[in-house]
Structure 1
Amino acid sequence: MTRRALGRRYLSAWIGFSAGGRFSQALATVILMFAFGQPTVQALVGSAGTWAVLVTLVVLGGLSLLGQRYRIEWHGVLPLSLLAFVGYCALSVLWSEYSWVALREFAATLGFIGLGLYLALGRDLVQVIRASGDAFRILLVVALGLEVLSGLVLDVPIPGFGIRGDIAYGGPIQGIGGTRNFMGFVAAMALVTFVVEFLTRSVTAWRAVASTALAVIALMLVQSPITGLAMIALAVTALALWALRHAQPRTRPVVNGVLGVFVMVVAVVAVLAHSRILAEIGAAGGSASRLALWSQLRVLIEQHPVQGWGWVGTWPSEPVVPFDVVLAPSGLPFTSALNAFVDAWLQIGLAGMLILLGTAVLAFARAWVTATTFPGVAYVWPAAVLVLLAVTSTAESYLLHGAGLMVFTAVLVIAARRRSWRGRLPR
């Protein structure tokens, strides 16, 4: 047997192995752990190591999908809105003034979108929820363990991980997130996942209760106002979904209309009384810094209002205009625009921001209709995740990179699988 034939045989055997259920589920869990633990991975192995892990996971995911190609339904699955967004980001690389940096970051964007596609196509929804639950249990245990080690055992901070060791004072904690806001995002995602796991009976009752308690403890310790607002939104979403799922089909449009009016009224009140609300929840200081940042970005956006400066996702650490001229009061550069849609407007202009907004609205509409009409309880998870991403995106740019972008891609494709109009077209 020639060396070339032997290589093909080994490759075929590996593709067959990677398409197996156990390997695919383990790979999905590792992908979720890497994405949500990326700040810790970055601190441990640096940028080169993080890139190596990302590329490896993308290759393994691609081989696994290749082995499953005959049982994956591809017809009308990939949403046109997602393709339009990715295509516009690719075009923005051409007119950016930092093409090499933009090309590198666009490659990272494609990597996390690819991981999201693997979760949506290589696993069914219940399997994605189960893999997420396993990943979040490990991440929360590691995060709280590091905080206990830093704040109670050693009584010293761990600067490399961004941990200040304040758990002895009740927080805030940073855990594996690097910041309390990202740690709060991880804990909120974990809580949503654990509750849906319990409702779908994917795990035993004691494991669900213990996992939920772990997530609640983490949420209490992060002391993040943004996460607090997200939890309020999730509680309202849970009540609305419960009411709609138990309503008669003929009354659902009325209930949805009432909910829409309620959301609009709450949004108007929040805008008019935002200063008092932020002061009550202890976010006035963070709001002031964000308003100051957005006023700086407005000047930059006005220079390229339609097409933007060029896609980067996460702001580059090297000195690149315009990102290195936006400084915090401390003199340090910001790492994002602290708002996903303002960030998108800066990078890909008004046109790209509207594509992203349309993609998000369409995904939520599909996920909401499926969650309120489809009998499977698991379909509540995509709708709740999109609500969490929407609220968090008003104060952070997680939607544009890393774990946020990966999860957004996964739930976008999962929602489109049930509601895409292209699924009705002839093959």
Structure 2
Amino acid sequence: MTAPAAPAGREGWGALLASAAFARAYTIAVFAAVFSSFAIERMAGRVTAVTIVAGLGVLGVAVLFVRRREISPVRLVPSTLVLFLVWALISVAWSTDRSLSWWGWVSAAGIALLGVTIGHIRDTLQTARALGDVMRWLLSISLGLEILSGVLLDLPLGFLGIQGNIAQAGPIQGLFGTRNLLGFVAVVALVTFLVEYRTQSVPPGLSLFSVAVGGLAAALSDSPTVGVLALAVTAATAALTLVRRARPDRRSRLQWLLGGTVVLGLAVAYLARHPIIAFLGAGSDFSMRAALWENLLGYVRLEPVHGFGWFGPWAQLEFPFASINYMLRERHASALSAYFDVLLQLGWAGLVLFLSLAGFALVRSWLIASERRSIVYAWTPLLLVALLVDSLFESFTLAGPGLLLLVICAVRAGHARSWRERLDARIAGPDLPLAPAPPRPAR
């Protein structure tokens, strides 16, 4: 029996790169590499971690080239993402260290490339499934290492930064380096696991195990941001459920009502921030952030429009990062808020672009999820809610796993409810088919 012929124009390596099996393997490899980058760097060195991500980036370009007939050029990258990256690149010109700033931009652009590739070769359910598979392994390994360190050996695993505090109910950090990153990852994993359960894409027993692992990791991380994230995602889930069940003619009015409620809730939360912080037991953690942000705003006033140049994670010896840490007698690697970090590095212009990127993605994905019946469409807006809320307290959204998820969500949201649809329709004409959307390969 002869093997089936490869599609026209796709033979050998081209057929492999365009296959559904390779798309799934590539997506899993990207999630595994980016989410475990801290552990890879600690065990094998920074060069190894960078080489892995660079190799995946090269493969991503190859995959997009092979699939170029399936992708409309105007749908390739969200315009808000392009504008944000272009502004960050331009900021290299006035950076205090152009070399470090350039490589910081390359790192962000490389992660964005991986996200764009996944957004085009996998649909929403397939992306969630791949992320769920990776999260199950990484969280299980994290808990296993914490048990090994804190219970079986009673000895810290210094090369991974694991202190072995699981016997005291935390805080733990697993493979992720910090308890706050572990808490954020656990919340993202729980959203993904629950979507898997509702879509019945994995066996019920595996779903139950996954939720248990994610919940245990979130609780043991003892991160003060986990409670806020969980509350925000729960509130967003309830609101989205309410909108999805409303009659179509009432949805628009309900959406505006929910929007006004969110604004009012944010105002009340700000006015009652001190009781809320005391209730969460995060007084010392927030006071440290407040001191950092107050000091940081003094430097923002020096370059309010364009900032000091893009670096991503702080370059400890460069101005203004070294000066801020010196004044506070700390060694912060970020502003502990994505919004303050963008404001410091890219000014108000950069902050507007960043908010546009995240805001347009959230609005589009929310409207899609409120109109389409499948629960899988709720995955994108719920992840964006988690990212935007977490960005108040951490800068994870500007690099690594957070940036990867933000780009994937923006690309998925940009496939619908965008000016690109109208432009494609005008290019195709009334009697011609639209540019084909990426096919849905088999899982």
Q: TM-score, normalised by structure 1?
A: 0.94
Determine the C-alpha separation between the residues in 1 that align with 2:296 and 2:322.
12
**1:21-77 Cα distance to aligned partner (Å, 9 max, x none):** 112101101111111112111211222111111101111222222222222344434
Alpha-carbon offset, residue 335 of structure 1: 0.4
CA root-mean-square deviation: 1.6
2:324 to 323, 326, 332: 326
The answer (yes or no) to whether the contact 1:293–1:328 under 8 Å persists in 2 is: no
Taking a change above 3 Å as real, the CA distance of residues 23 and 215 of structure 1, as seen in their structure-2 partners, is same
Unpaired segments ≥5 residues, structure 2? 1-9, 428-443
Determine the C-alpha separation between the residues in 2 that align with 1:285 and 1:118.
41
Which residue number corresponds to residue 348 of structure 2? Answer: 350
The answer (yes or no) to whether the contact 1:77–1:423 under 8 Å persists in 2 is: no
Which residue number corresponds to residue 212 of structure 2? Answer: 213
**1:188 is aligned to 2:187:** yes
Which residue number corresponds to residue 360 of structure 1? Answer: 358
1:25 alignment partner AA: R
Alpha-carbon offset, residue 12 of structure 1: 6.2
The answer (yes or no) to whether the contact 1:76–1:420 under 8 Å persists in 2 is: no
Alpha-carbon offset, residue 252 of structure 1: 1.0
**1:68-95 Cα distance to aligned partner (Å, 9 max, x none):** 2222344434221111111101100111
Query: Any residues of structure 2 matched to 1:397-412 within 5 Å, and which?
Result: 397-412=395-410
Higher deviation after alignment, 130-139 or 29-38: 29-38
Determine the C-alpha separation between the residues in 2 that align with 1:18 and 1:358.
33
Alpha-carbon offset, residue 354 of structure 1: 0.9
- The 3-state SS of whatever aligns with 1:203 is coil
Unpaired segments ≥5 residues, structure 1? 1-10
Which residue number corresponds to residue 394 of structure 1? Answer: 392
The answer (yes or no) to whether the contact 1:308–1:346 under 8 Å persists in 2 is: yes
**1:208-264 Cα distance to aligned partner (Å, 9 max, x none):** 111111111111111111111000011111111111111100111222222222212
**1:330-368 Cα distance to aligned partner (Å, 9 max, x none):** 844210000101100100111111111122111111011
Which residue number corresponds to residue 145 of structure 2? Answer: 146
Which residue number corresponds to residue 55 of structure 1? Answer: 54
Which residue number corresponds to residue 171 of structure 1? Answer: 170
**1:244 is aligned to 2:243:** yes
Determine the C-alpha separation between the residues in 1 that align with 2:291 and 2:204.
47
The answer (yes or no) to whether the contact 2:190–2:215 under 8 Å persists in 1 is: yes
The answer (yes or no) to whether the contact 1:18–1:64 under 8 Å persists in 2 is: yes
- The 3-state SS of whatever aligns with 1:163 is coil
Alpha-carbon offset, residue 303 of structure 1: 1.3
**1:270-303 Cα distance to aligned partner (Å, 9 max, x none):** 1111111101101111110001111221121111
**1:166-213 Cα distance to aligned partner (Å, 9 max, x none):** 100111110111111000111111100011111122111111111111
2:336 alignment partner AA: L
Query: Any residues of structure 2 matched to 1:35-46 within 5 Å, and which?
Result: 35-46=34-45
Which residue number corresponds to residue 422 of structure 2? Answer: 424
Alpha-carbon offset, residue 160 of structure 1: 2.4
Which residue number corresponds to residue 4 of structure 1? Answer: none
1:86 alignment partner AA: L
Determine the C-alpha separation between the residues in 1 that align with 2:323 and 2:47.
26
The count of corresponding residues between Structure 1 and Structure 2 is 416
Determine the C-alpha separation between the residues in 1 that align with 2:405 and 2:375.
19
Determine the C-alpha separation between the residues in 2 that align with 1:168 and 1:12.
55
Q: TM-score, normalised by structure 2?
A: 0.91
- The 3-state SS of whatever aligns with 2:411 is helix
1:336 to 316, 327, 334: 334
The answer (yes or no) to whether the contact 2:292–2:328 under 8 Å persists in 1 is: no
Determine the C-alpha separation between the residues in 2 that align with 1:161 and 1:406.
23
The answer (yes or no) to whether the contact 1:161–1:176 under 8 Å persists in 2 is: yes
Which residue number corresponds to residue 122 of structure 1? Answer: 121
The answer (yes or no) to whether the contact 1:338–1:397 under 8 Å persists in 2 is: yes
Determine the C-alpha separation between the residues in 1 that align with 2:256 and 2:368.
17
The answer (yes or no) to whether the contact 2:36–2:176 under 8 Å persists in 1 is: yes
Identity rate of aligned residues, in percent?
35
- The 3-state SS of whatever aligns with 1:419 is coil
- The 3-state SS of whatever aligns with 2:305 is coil
Determine the C-alpha separation between the residues in 2 that align with 1:46 and 1:180.
22
Determine the C-alpha separation between the residues in 1 that align with 2:276 and 2:263.
17
Which residue number corresponds to residue 234 of structure 2? Answer: 235
Determine the C-alpha separation between the residues in 1 that align with 2:18 and 2:151.
44
**1:315 is aligned to 2:314:** yes
2:313 alignment partner AA: T
**1:376 is aligned to 2:368:** no
